Amino acid sequence: MDNDERVIGIKDVAKAANVALATVDRVIHNRAGVSVKTKVKVLKVIKQMGYKPNIMASNLSKSKKIVIGVLLPNISEGSGYWEFPMQGILKAKKELAQYNIKIKTYTFKQDNNKEIRKKILELINSDIQGLVLTSKFADEIEILLEDCKQKNRPYVFIDSNVRKIDALSSIHQPLFESGELAAQLFNYCFNKGEILVLHLKKTMDTEGIISLKEKGMNAYLKENNNAITTKSLVLTDFNEDAISGVLFKTLKENPFIKGVFIPNSKVAYIAKYFEKRGGDKIYLIGYDFFREDIEYLEKEIIDFLICQRPEEQGYQAVFKLFEHLVLKKEVEKEIIMPLDIITKKNYKYY
């Protein structure tokens, strides 16, 4: 299993093929300037001897750095969700600094189209060799993707709902299934009643994502428990009073509501209302885990959060680009994150 024999290197290949080191190097990297005859000969020897390049040596002698660009919303606003992928990206950055990898981040305000366009132009005119981004701005980024394609720059999506065929890799959570999971959890909490599905609209949350989750939920209920139904409600105003008003009215008119499903990362807004409200227990399930959720998890106002390891998504995205650019490895076209379930009793270890 472990062979402790001397590892064969480019020098051995050169000798065996009766060519110079530089020629072997040219063949390995598929560079121009080698006769077909020589190339075939060298490739044959490489295969025969089982030559594997030494990445450490390769990197050491390589002069230029590899720069990976990151295009994501900035973290100081909105749901704060993007803080987590960014943490993973920074972790990868630290680890990969050894390999001459640089990370350049381009952040923007989510609803500032002018700024987004500016960052896209910067990226197009930059010297990056790979790109991490999210697919939630389909309209804005198409031109950037087109540019990447032309320049043969690989890009990786994180938190992307769609699988982009031209991407090196797309990292995402299974949306439909997460809706099923939420339904299953509600079904453990009560046997009959109604689930209120709250669509809290904001720039970033495309309706596609939310509706896919809702479809998953309905599919589960249809198959497993017809005594639980769902009812959708769209909220556009996030003002505390507005939320209170709407929820008070809705719950009063629909006394069978036993659970509330918030298919994005805004549960805390809703939990705030339920903290003050009396009456029968109403179960709350939402997405993503933030500091402000802890209080409500502890009080079991929020019962379950479905999470998608945003930090790991960021880390993986950079790492996959590294594997592709430096290690020349095959990279999975699609990486599906687990559906993590967070409750009062396990959030501390997440």
Residues found near its own copies in the complex (CB under 8 A): 2, 4, 54-57, 59-60, 65, 98-99, 102-104, 174, 177-178, 180-181, 183-185, 188-189, 220, 303, 336-341, 343-346, 348-350
What's the closest the beta carbon of residue 201 comes to its own copies, in angstroms?
A: 26
Give the neighbor-by-neighbor strand order of the sheet with 130-134: 101-108, 66-73, 130-134, 155-158, 169-172, 334-336
Distance CA 304, CA 189 (A): 11
Q: Compare residues 231 and 329 and give the one whose CB is closer to DNA.
A: 329
Applying CB under 7 A, which of residues 15, 22, 223, 237 lies at the interface with DNA? 22
Q: Compare residues 62 and 345 and give the one whose CB is closer to DNA.
A: 62
Picked from DNA, its own copies, none, the partner binding residue 104 (CB below 5 to 8 A depending on kind) is: its own copies
Size of the site for DNA (CB under 7 A): 33
What's the closest the beta carbon of residue 150 comes to DNA, in angstroms?
A: 23
Widest CA span of the chain, in angstroms?
A: 86
What's the closest the beta carbon of residue 55 comes to its own copies, in angstroms?
A: 5
Q: Compare residues 17 and 221 and give the one whose CB is closer to its own copies.
A: 221
What's the closest the beta carbon of residue 130 comes to its own copies, in angstroms?
A: 16
Q: What is the CA angle 43-45-48, rounded to 5?
A: 110
Q: Compare residues 137 and 160 and give the one whose CB is closer to its own copies.
A: 160
Restricting to residues 25-84, which ones interact with DNA according to CB under 7 A? 25-26, 28-29, 32-39, 51-54, 57-58, 60-64
Q: Compare residues 201 and 344 and give the one whose CB is closer to its own copies.
A: 344
- Classify each residue of 216-253 as buried b or exposed e, where b means 16 or more C-beta atoms within 10 Å of its C-beta: bbbebbeeebeebebeeeebeeeeeeebeebbeebbee
DSSP type of residue 158: E
Q: Compare residues 19 and 197 and give the one whose CB is closer to its own copies.
A: 197
**Residue among 85, 140, 161 at smallest CA distance from 334:** 161
CB 135 within 8 A of CB 157: yes
Q: Compare residues 40 and 121 and give the one whose CB is closer to DNA.
A: 40
Distance CA 38, CA 27 (A): 9
The 10 Å Cβ neighbour count of residue 69 is 25
What's the closest the beta carbon of residue 183 comes to its own copies, in angstroms?
A: 8
Contacts for 221 with CB less than 8 Å, ≥ 6 apart? 183, 187, 195, 228, 229, 230
What's the closest the beta carbon of residue 39 comes to its own copies, in angstroms?
A: 26
Picked from DNA, its own copies, none, the partner binding residue 20 (CB below 5 to 8 A depending on kind) is: DNA
Q: Compare residues 52 and 329 and give the one whose CB is closer to DNA.
A: 52
Taking CB under 7 A as the rule, does residue 98 contact DNA? no
For 176, the token pair is 């439909």
DSSP type of residue 70: E
Distance CA 221, CA 216 (A): 9
Taking CB under 7 A as the rule, does residue 225 contact DNA? no
- List contacts with DNA (CB under 7 A): 7, 9-11, 18-23, 25-26, 28-29, 32-39, 51-54, 57-58, 60-64
